[in-house]
Amino acid sequence: MTSHLRAAPSQDRFTAETEGFRRELLAHCYRMTGSAYDAEDLVQETYLRAWRAYAGFERRASIRAWLYKIATNVCLTALEPRRIRLLPSGLAGPYDGPDRPPSHVAPGEVTWLEPLPDRWIAPPADGPAAALIRRESLRLALIASLQHLPARQRAMLILREVLAFSAAETAEILDTTTAAVKSGLQRARARLDELERAPEELLEPTDKRARALLDGYIAAFERSDAGLLEQVLRADATLEATPFRDWQSGRAMCIHILDAYVLGAPGDWRMIATTANAQPAAVVYHRDADGALRADGVVVLAPTATGVSRVIKFHDPALVPAFGFSDWLAD
């Protein structure tokens, strides 16, 4: 009993000093892994390791840098045996073959990128500039590109350019030299330049234009009205969905695929607006053979001033509860 009482203040002190970083560490682990579920597990592992090492923490670095060192190394260890997480557009170019429904990828053949519910991460505490960095660093296009970098280069780029650690701090976190950080960062930037499409000015989810585009997309599905998509999608819009290999480029092709193979009859779909990766999104329900509306997944839009440039649908019913919604809906 006495030793328990002696340990309690240390636990309280640890919690007081570290708990405020939990959600930003979750965002960090998500950027590293491309998986919200993996990120959650890795943050738990980070805090377990931090608690075990807390008594020996010598405070030569800030507590934040110390936690990031632990979290980054936890991520690097977890990433060693794993394949990278992809979107369909990371597999090949857009499908331009004969007309047919998109083809499934065999289970286990590809490890798919996952969206991050915005509710999992804390609102920024340091004003508008911090908010901008956080939003841009979690958008799906960047997360997808980051997964193509070697894990240590990915860490260097995130630590330096997203989290604004100095080269020396980054070297300390990664147990390497400042020169190695500078070299790795240069290679990472060059690779990202090859991978990323032309940068877009995305509307914030709170922008009334972004909400109107999301509402229009939802209405098109709930009413089974392909014509509404003409008002939502840009002429150069792309459409992709996990776990399908094929993806479409160009508004006409996107609308054709949705109209021919997806929309169905009015009432087949129900969507509820939310946000993911700092982008407008919706949890998706589909009516099953028994007439019940069951969780189907999450769709994330990339809204611009001229319309939606990219639609990504994640067919994973388990995502819906992760976004805070029921796995079924009553009519």
| pLDDT of amino acid 125 | 53
Which tokens is 158 given?
A: 């995130």
Instruction: Collapse the DSSP code of 170 into the 3-class scheme (helix H, G, I; strand E, B; otherwise coil) and give the result.
Output: helix
> Domains of the chain (ranges plus CATH)?
15-82+140-195 (1.20.140.160), 208-329 (3.10.450.50)
| pLDDT of amino acid 82 | 79
| pLDDT of amino acid 226 | 97
| pLDDT of amino acid 130 | 54
| pLDDT of amino acid 60 | 79
| pLDDT of amino acid 131 | 52
**Residue segments in the chain with a per-residue pLDDT below the cut of 70:** 1-9, 122-134, 197-198
| pLDDT of amino acid 129 | 45
| pLDDT of amino acid 195 | 83
3-state secondary structure 254-323: HHHHHHHHCCCCCCCEEEEEEEECCEEEEEEEEECCCCCEEEEEEEEEEEECCEEEEEEEECCCCHHHHC
Taking only the tens place, the pLDDT of each residue in 278-292 is: 999 999 999 999 999
